[in-house]
Amino acid sequence: MKKVNQSHPRLRKSWENKTYEQIISSSEMDSLTSICEALFPPLDPPSKLDHNQPIDNSIKSFYRSSGSQKPIPFEVAGVMKDRGLPEAVLLVDDNSHNAVWEAIDYKPDTTTTDNKANNQGRPLESGIVETLYETPLTLLQSLTSKGLDVREDPKDNLYKIKCDVVIVGSGCGGGVAAAILAAAGQKVVVLEKGNYYSAPDYSSLEGPTMNELMEKGGMIPTTDGAVMLLAGSTVGGGTAVNWSAALNTPDPVLKEWADEQGLGLFGSPQYKFAMQSVTQRLGVTTECVKEGFQNQVLRKGCKNLGIKVDQVPRNSSEAHYCGSCYYGCRTADKQGTDVTWLVDAVNLGAVIITGCKAETLLFTKNGRKKEKRCVGVLARSFNEKIPGKFELEAKVTISACGSLLTPPLLISSGLRNRHIGKNLHLHPSLMVWGYFPEGPTSQFEGKSYEGGLITSAHQVAPDQMSNSMPRALIETPALGPAACAALFCPWESGSDIKRRMLRYSRTANLFVMVRDKGSGEVRSEQRISYGLSAEDRENMTAGLRRALKILIAAGAVEVGTYRSDGQRIECKGKSEDEIEEFLGSVSATKGPLTARFWAVYCTAHQMGSCRMGRRENEGAVDENGESWEAEGLFVCDGSVLPSAVGVNPMITIQSTAYCIAKKLAESLKNGEFNI
C-alpha cells in the first residue's frame, strides 16, 4: 500500500520561506533575471523531436518556460550568497511536484511505502537528543532523561557532561565504534553536527535533500576547482546517502598495507573476522533480482565486448530496487549505520546529540606515556536558541568525522604531527554518457534514475601482473536532473539545453574511478588541495575509453564525455575507424583553471588524511588508531587508511573501525584510560 508523501519539512520545498529575501539591489536583480532568461529562454516548441519523440502539452510547456520565472532568480541570488544548491531550480512546489518532471520523464518516488521498517518509526528515538528542536528550558531535561550525568554551569555558559567515551561523527567509523564500545559496557555519547532523519522523512527531492544531508550542499571544491567532493552530513554520515556498494578490501591492498607498510593489522585474522562481522551486520547480499536501466546498459555492453562484468555486493536485500538511496533510503532497506550499528548502540544506552559540532579537543598535560592527555571535547549547537556550549569529559575521545573534518579538528586543537591532513586520497572520478532512445526496438527497460544504484561493475585490467589492482573501476552513478543539467558542457543555446534535458531519463551514465597514487592535503574546512599523478591520468584515460566502448557496444545512438567542449559523437553510420579516432581523442583532462578543454572530477570517497603508521614519522596515528601526540585520543574513520582502497571503501572503513574499537574496549576494561 502506498500513501501520500509525509516527508520532513526540511526535506521539502515548503521549508523555504515563501517571501524571498532581497539580498541584492533591484537593478542587480533585473540584470540577474535577464541572465537567467538568456540561459534558459522561452521558446516555441519544435515541429519534431529526436527519434520521433511525441510532443505533448508538458513538452510544449517546458519549451515555453523561462529562467526568469520566480523563484529562480531569487534562488540563484541565494546561491551567490550562500554557495548552496538552488532548491527550486526546477520549480518544485509544496506538494513535491515539478511542472518540468513530466516533460523530462522524471518520476521520483515521492510516496511512502507501508512496510515493517517504516512502521517502526524512528529507530534511534530512545537515544537521541536533537538540539535543533531544544530550548534552554528543555535541553537539560532531555540530556538527563537519556541517563547522562549533566551539570549546568551558568558562570561559564556550559553544559558539562560526563561519559566514558565521546565520539565525534556517526558515519562508517563512528557508528561501528559506538556499538562496540556500548556493548562493552561504556557510556557512549555520539556528537553529530547533522540532523536525524529516518525512512519516512526522506522526500527524494534533489535540492533540499542535498542541502540538508550533504556537507555544504554536496558542493565542496578543491582550491583549484578541479575536484568536487561529496560527503554526508547527517546521522549515519555517508552511509545514509551512499550508493550501497559493499565491497571487501581487495587482497592486493591488504598485502600492500601489511607487508610493504608494516601494518600487521591488515594481514591478521582479526581483520578478516572484522570484515565478516561487518558484512553480516549490514546484511550484505551478492545477488540482484532486477537491475536498473544504467546497470543493464553496463552489463550488456560488457557482454557484447566479451569482457567481464562483476556483480556488486550491496548492504540491502536482493530485491532492493531503489533509485533514490542517494537522497536517503525511503524503504529503510539500505543498511546504513543509522539503522544498524547506531541502533545497537542506543539500545545499549548510548546517546546521540545532533545538530552539535565539535569545536576543539580538550587536553591536560599529565599524560602517563605521552606529553598530552585528551579528556574530552568542547562543542556547540547550531541552534541559536542554545547559547551555551557542551563540555564533554570522557576517558576516551574518538574523532570519526571523516577525512575532510578530522584533520581540521585535530589541527585547530593544537596537534602538530606532520601527517595530519596530508596523504588525502579521493578515488577521483569522471563520467561518460550514452543516449538510448525509448522505443519498441530498445533492449533496456526503465529510466536512468530507477533501480539499484550500483549492482554491476567492470574492472579495467592492469597491464602487468594479474594479481595487481585494476587500472580503473567502471560503475554507475546516481545523477539527479539538476546535477545533470549543471554538468552539460558547453552551453550552446537555450534550445540545446532543453533538448538535452528531454533525453535525461534515457541517458545512461558510467563513472570511471581510479585508485589514486596522487594525493592532497586538508588543513582547514575551507581549504582542500589535491593533484592527480601522471599514472592516475593514464589509468583514467584507459577507463574513459573503455567506458565509452561499453556504451557503444550496448547500442547507444550517441555518446560523449562531460568535457568543457561537449566532446561527443553520434554512433549511427560511423565506421570503426571513425569511432577509434573519437576514442583516441578522449583523455583525462585537467581542471578548469589549467586547461583549454577541462572537466571537473567528482569524488564521494575520502581516505588517508590521518593515516596509520608504524612510527610517529610515518603516520598521524598508530596501529590502534591512537594519536601519537595525545593519550586517549583515537581516530576511527576513513582518514586512518594507509592509502586509497581502489574500491568503494565502506566495508574497509567499518572493518578498520571494528578492529580499533575492539582493541580499545579491551584497554578500557583493563583500566588503561581511567581518569
pTM of the model: 0.94
Closest CA to 661 of 156, 188, 110: 188
- Whole-number pLDDT of residue 368: 79
Mean of per-residue pLDDT scores for the chain: 91
Q: What angle do CA 98, 102, 103 make, to 5 degrees?
A: 110
Q: How far is CA 446 from CA 1, 297, 551, 571, in A?
A: 22, 11, 16, 22
Residues 610 and 627 in one domain: yes
* In the chain, % of residues over pLDDT 90: 79
Q: What is the pLDDT of residue 120?
A: 64
Q: Is residue 216 one of the residues assigned to a domain?
A: no
468 shares a domain with 576: yes
8 catalytic? Reply is no
The Cα 514–Cα 643 span in angstroms is 13
How much is the pLDDT for 28?
86
How far is the first Cα of the chain from the last one, in angstroms, to the nearest whole number? 54
Question: Is the residue at 419 inside a domain?
Answer: yes
The number of C-alpha atoms within 13 Å of 417 and in the hemisphere containing its C-beta is 26
Instruction: Give yes or no: residues 132 and 253 share one domain.
Output: yes
Q: Which three cell numbers stand for residue 339?
A: 539503522
pLDDT, tens digit (0-9, with 9 covering 90-100), for 132-172:
999 999 999 999 999 999 999 999 999 999 999 999 999 99
Domain that holds residue 649: 128-198+247-283+332-424+605-670
Would residue 104 count as lying in a domain? no
Model confidence at 72, pLDDT cuts 50, 70, 90, reads confident
| Confidence check: pLDDT of 21 > 60 | no
22 occurs within a structural domain: no
Do residue 573 and residue 590 come from a single domain?
Answer: yes
Between CA 102 and CA 109, with CA 106 as vertex, the angle to 5 degrees is 115
* Of 574, 603, 632, the domain-final residue: 603
Overall domain count for the chain: 2
The residue annotated as part of the active site, out of 8, 427, 458, 605, is 605
- We report the CATH number of the domain holding residue 317 as 3.30.410
Q: Is the pLDDT of residue 82 over 50?
A: no
Tell me the mean pLDDT in the region 584-588: 97
CATH of the domain at 389: 3.50.50.60
Binding residues: 163-178
Cα(162)–Cα(145) distance, rounded to whole angstroms?
Answer: 14
Q: Are residues 439 and 546 in the same domain?
A: yes
Residue type, 459: Q
Both 417 and 471 in one domain: the answer is no
Specify the pLDDT at position 87.
42
- The pLDDT tens digits of the residues spanning 601-643 come to 999 999 999 999 999 999 999 999 999 999 999 999 999 999 9
301 and 393 both lie in a single domain? no
Give the lowest-confidence range in 24-38, 430-444, 509-523.
Answer: 24-38
Same domain, 536 and 634: no
DSSP string, 121-174: --TTGGGEEEGGG--HHHHHHHHHHTT-EEEEETTTTEEEEE-SEEEE--SHHH
- Residue for grid cell 541502533: 343
Residue located via cell numbers 569545536 = 359
- Whether residue 44 lies inside any domain: the answer is no
Q: Is residue 443 part of a domain?
A: yes
Domain boundary residue among 545, 573, 603?
A: 603
Q: Which of 603, 633, 660 is the endpoint of a domain?
A: 603
**Res 118 pLDDT > 80:** no
Q: Same domain for 173 and 261?
A: yes
Q: What is the C-alpha separation between 396 and 377, in angstroms, rounded?
A: 10
Task: Give, in order, the Cα–Cα distances in Å from 242 to each of 294, 327, 451, 532, 649.
Answer: 17, 9, 14, 24, 11
Whole-angstrom distance, CA of residue 254 vs CA of residue 246? 16
pLDDT surpassing 60 at residue 353: yes
Would you state the cell numbers that stand for residue 258, as one nine-digit string?
601489511
Residues 274 and 371 in one domain: yes
Domain annotation covers residue 560:
yes
- Is 156 inside any structural domain? yes
Q: Is residue 78 over pLDDT 70?
A: no
586 and 647 part of one domain: no
Binding residues for FAD: 163-178
- The C-alpha atoms of residue 592 and residue 261 are separated, in whole angstroms, by 35
Question: d(Cα 513, Cα 474) in Å, to the nearest integer?
Answer: 6
Give the integer Cα–Cα distance in Å for 359 and 580: 54
Same domain, 545 and 419: no
CA-CA-CA-CA torsion sign (133, 138, 140, 146):
negative
Tens digits of per-residue pLDDT, 254-296? 999 999 999 999 999 999 999 999 999 999 999 999 999 999 9
Kindly state the DSSP code that residue 257 receives in the 8-state scheme: I
44: which 3 cell numbers?
Answer: 516555441
